[in-house]
Amino acid sequence: MSELSVSTAVEPIVSARGLRKKFGGKEILHGLDFDIPPGRIYGLIGHNGAGKTTTLNAMLGLTACEGTIRVLGEDPFAKRAKLMENVAFISDVASLPRFLRVRELFALLSNIHPNFSQDKARSFLEGTDIKPEMKVKHLSKGMVAQLHLAVVMAIDAKLLVLDEPTLGLDITYRKRFYRRLLEDYMTEERTLIITTHQVDEIEFMLSDIMFIRDGDMILHMQMETVNEKFTQLVVNDPEQQAAARAYGPVYEETRFGQTVMIFDGVDRAILEPFGRLSTPTLSDLFVALMQRPTANPEPAR
Amino acid sequence: MKAFFALVHRELIEHRGAFLLGPLLLVAVLFGATILAFTVGRVDARFSGALFTVAPLRVYELGFLFFGLGWSLYMISVLFFYCADGFAADKRNNAMLFWKSMPVSDFKVLLSKLTAGLTVLPGTVYAVALLSGVLLYGVAYVTMLINGTATVATLGSIVVIYGNVALAILVSIVCGLLWYLPAMALVGAVATAIGRWAIPISLLMPAIVSTLEWVTLGGLHPFATHTWRFIEYRGKLPETPYVQDWSVSAETFNGVIFATDLISHMDWLQVGIGAVFAIVVIYAASEYRRRVNDN
């Protein structure tokens, strides 16, 4: 179901071919192939243990993999340090050094990272409760997330990777986090890759999605194409349901007495007579594609 | 280099308790103890003993040298714990992934930790050793002025003694760091892999290796092996005949002769091998760290 609409003329920011990774003899990634062009906002979505973080770690040079992966044309595992001049990431919001004060953190980063701007970082913190003299260990979880976001946003990077950046934060912080990211950071030259379980919260900002299921890429598509390709049908009448089933819904469930079906690539004009049509949300699509009968070839235990 | 110095600075901030506050606290305690010793009669303030009759200013030499020895022991023990703890700190502090998001290699990070151990801590220790010497001399000189055993003219001799002892402490610290460099690097490398378990493991490792040699190659007992003899050899700085000769003479302490004596008795081939060994184990540890991103 991969639909790479990337123009071959555009040099991808990330390119993977036959990406495989094993942990203790068990293969976690089964030969992923994908290209991520610049200027896009990608959502990397999958169950726990599907291989999202392993894929991100491969992009960030944090783990060695079989196959080929290139980020900004470089092998990330071999050249992680060099690559990090143009790549920023948040892998865990709690990973800021707790012993530092905010001003010490900024001063150190000014000397360590050639593309970090202390002024930008300070400006991103304006209007927050975070003060330069505060120690990271004394900040609340939400403040640490704000600080970490200010740090990565103050780095003039071509690729920003966020792995569950809002884990454990309340809805207010999460919404503020993404709004800030979108308003103050994203430009046409920058690429953003996000993984999160709160897919509905980031759906509005995504340009592309990648679904990973059990180490396989099952969907790689632009959001516009998703909207065109997938249709959700709500149908109540048993006869209409039976008729709609003939078009092979990829997913079907009953919610509050109503039957909901999701179709892949079926013309809306055909489905319209059966009931109410809409575009499935990302979370509906996620559930649909992850729970197809063929979703998990391993027998349930 | 700017990034490297920033990483060294990070170590100072992270370990300022052991690197800075601890020594300053200790020097305050020592200063208090010195004042008490002179004021409550624990020290012969008139320096009327036989030794001081022959060499009246020896209290300055011995006092400062003992302070220097004490600070050197403090430095070595703090270095051991720093290497065992500091090299694993990023993992323990849950900050490994943050530092890996920075454009610095794991080798550079570990090298900065070793460099901090070899420069910042010894620099601080040397500075507080000098400070403790000044405080000791101040208390002793004022005491002697009060009881009439010293004059203003004595001050010149005291300054010369201070300079000589300060030079001796400096050369001892530098030689000691070079001599124990491979041990520190090894402890740091082990800590990179197993965290603070490096403390018992590093202490047990010599005995284990020696025992293995005894079991496989034979010998009188586990501590009569080539390994153990080598460890004993590398465990202490070379002896300096000058110190032995000076301690039984009435001569004033000469820092230049001491430094020359110590430097000439150093096994520089071993120092060179140790430096190469240190770089190799730190590199090996960095390769391990590069492959493991536990946070």
Cα B276 to Cα B191, B279, B282: the distances in Å are 19, 5, 10
Cα–chain-centroid distance for residue A29? 17
Q: Given CB atoms, is A133 within the 8 Å cutoff of chain B?
A: no
What is the spatial distance between Cα A64 and Cα A74, in angstroms, rounded to a whole number? 14
Do residues B281 and B110 lie in contact, with contact meaning Cβ atoms separated by under 8 Å? no
Tokens 């060695």: give the residue. Answer: A64
CB atoms A112 and B6 under 8 Å? yes
Q: Is A263 exposed, middle or buried (0-12, 13-18, 19+ CB in 10 A)?
A: buried
Chain B nearest-CA residue for A162: B101
Q: Average the pLDDT over B47-72 and give the result.
A: 76
pTM: 0.86
**CB neighbour burial string for B14-24, b if at least 16 within 10 angstroms, e if fewer:** bbeebbbebbe
State the nearest Cα–Cα gap between B9 and chain A, in angstroms.
8
CB atoms A97 and B100 under 8 Å? no
DSSP A259-273: EEEEEES--HHHHGG
Q: Which tokens belong to A43?
A: 């959502």
The least confident of B4-18, B54-68, B154-168 is B54-68
State the nearest Cα–Cα gap between B87 and chain A, in angstroms.
14
Q: How confident is the model at residue A226 (pLDDT cuts 50, 70, 90)?
A: confident
A218 three-class SS: strand
Chain A nearest-CA residue for B293: A62
Q: How confident is the model at residue A76 (pLDDT cuts 50, 70, 90)?
A: very high
CB atoms B103 and A95 under 8 Å? no
**Most distant CA pair in chain B, distance:** 69
Element (H, E) at A163: strand A159-163
What pLDDT sits at residue A172?
A: 81
What is the spatial distance between Cα B57 and Cα B47, in angstroms, rounded to a whole number? 9
Q: Given CB atoms, is A291 within the 8 Å cutoff of chain B?
A: no
Q: Where are the alpha helices (DSSP H) in B44-93?
A: 50-54, 58-86, 89-92
Mind listing the pLDDT tens digit for each residue in A128-183? 889 999 999 999 888 888 899 889 989 999 999 998 888 777 888 788 888 888 88
What pLDDT sits at residue A296?
A: 42
- Least Cα distance to A235 among A263, A265, A193, A210 occurs for A263
Q: Average the pLDDT over B22-27 and give the result.
A: 88
Q: Where are the alpha helices (DSSP H) in chain A?
A: 52-59, 80-83, 102-112, 118-125, 141-153, 171-184, 199-202, 223-229, 238-245, 268-271, 282-290
Q: Which tokens belong to B10?
A: 């990070």
CB atoms B93 and A97 under 8 Å? yes
Q: Given CB atoms, is A111 within the 8 Å cutoff of chain B?
A: yes
A255 three-class SS: strand
pLDDT over threshold 90, residue B59:
no
- Least Cα distance to A136 among A107, A188, A91, A96 occurs for A96
- Least Cα distance to B263 among B167, B119, B129, B162 occurs for B167
CB atoms A96 and B95 under 8 Å? yes
What is the spatial distance between Cα B192 and Cα B96, in angstroms, rounded to a whole number? 11
What pLDDT sits at residue B251?
A: 83
**Best to test chain B binding among A72, A101, A112, A159 (most B CBs inside 10 Å):** A112
CB atoms B94 and A112 under 8 Å? no
pLDDT over threshold 70, residue B53:
no
Do residues A88 and A161 lie in contact, with contact meaning Cβ atoms separated by under 8 Å? yes
Task: Share the mean pLDDT of chain B.
Answer: 88
Mind listing the pLDDT tens digit for each residue in B200-245? 888 898 889 999 999 898 878 888 888 899 988 988 888 888 988 8
Q: Given CB atoms, is A149 within the 8 Å cutoff of chain B?
A: no
The least confident of A21-25, A135-139, A213-217, B49-53 is B49-53
Report the percentage of chain A scoring pLDDT > 90.
42
Chain A nearest-CA residue for B107: A81
Which has more confidence, B280 or A166? Answer: B280
Chain B nearest-CA residue for A152: B101
What is the spatial distance between Cα A190 and Cα B119, in angstroms, rounded to a whole number? 41
Q: How confident is the model at residue B254 (pLDDT cuts 50, 70, 90)?
A: very high
Which of B5, B99, B103 is opposite residue A82, by nearest beta carbon? B103
Q: Which residues of chain B make contact with A85, given a CB cutoff of 8 A?
A: 103
Q: Average the pLDDT over B119-137 and give the result.
A: 91
**CB neighbour burial string for B135-169, b if at least 16 within 10 angstroms, e if fewer:** bbbebbbebbeeeebbeeebeeebebbbebbbbbb
CB atoms B293 and A99 under 8 Å? no
Tokens 């103890």: give the residue. Answer: B33
What pLDDT sits at residue A104?
A: 95
State the nearest Cα–Cα gap between A91 and chain B, in angstroms.
7
pLDDT over threshold 60, residue B295:
no
Which of B93, B103, B291 is opposite residue A84, by nearest beta carbon? B103
State the nearest Cα–Cα gap between B94 and chain A, in angstroms.
5
What pLDDT sits at residue B43?
A: 65
**Best to test chain A binding among B1, B96, B98 (most A CBs inside 10 Å):** B98
Q: Which residues of chain B make contact with A88, given a CB cutoff of 8 A?
A: 101
Q: Which residues of chain B make contact with A98, given a CB cutoff of 8 A?
A: 93-95
Q: Average the pLDDT over B178-203 and give the result.
A: 91
What is the spatial distance between Cα A241 and Cα A245, in angstroms, rounded to a whole number? 6
What is the spatial distance between Cα A193 and Cα A203, in angstroms, rounded to a whole number? 13
In sequence order, the 6+-apart residues with CB closer than 8 A to the CB of B268 are none
CB atoms A95 and B7 under 8 Å? no
Mind listing the pLDDT tens digit for each residue in A81-103? 999 999 999 886 678 999 999 99
CB atoms A98 and B94 under 8 Å? yes
Which of B14, B97, B101 is opposite residue A99, by nearest beta carbon? B14
State the nearest Cα–Cα gap between A85 and chain B, in angstroms.
5
Q: How confident is the model at residue B122 (pLDDT cuts 50, 70, 90)?
A: very high
What pLDDT sits at residue A118?
A: 93
The ipTM (two decimal places) reads 0.83
Q: Is B222 exposed, middle or buried (0-12, 13-18, 19+ CB in 10 A)?
A: middle
Which of A81, A90, A92 is opposite residue B104, by nearest beta carbon? A81
- Least Cα distance to A191 among A208, A203, A174, A176 occurs for A208
Q: Average the pLDDT over A227-241 and give the result.
A: 88
CB atoms B103 and A113 under 8 Å? yes
What is the spatial distance between Cα B116 and Cα B83, in angstroms, rounded to a whole number? 10
What is the spatial distance between Cα A145 and Cα A292, in angstroms, rounded to a whole number? 36
What pLDDT sits at residue A159?
A: 93
3-state DSSP helix/strand/coil % of chain A, to nearest 5 = 35, 30, 35
CA-based torsion, B52, B54, B60, B65: positive or negative: negative
Q: Which tokens belong to B280?
A: 């190799």
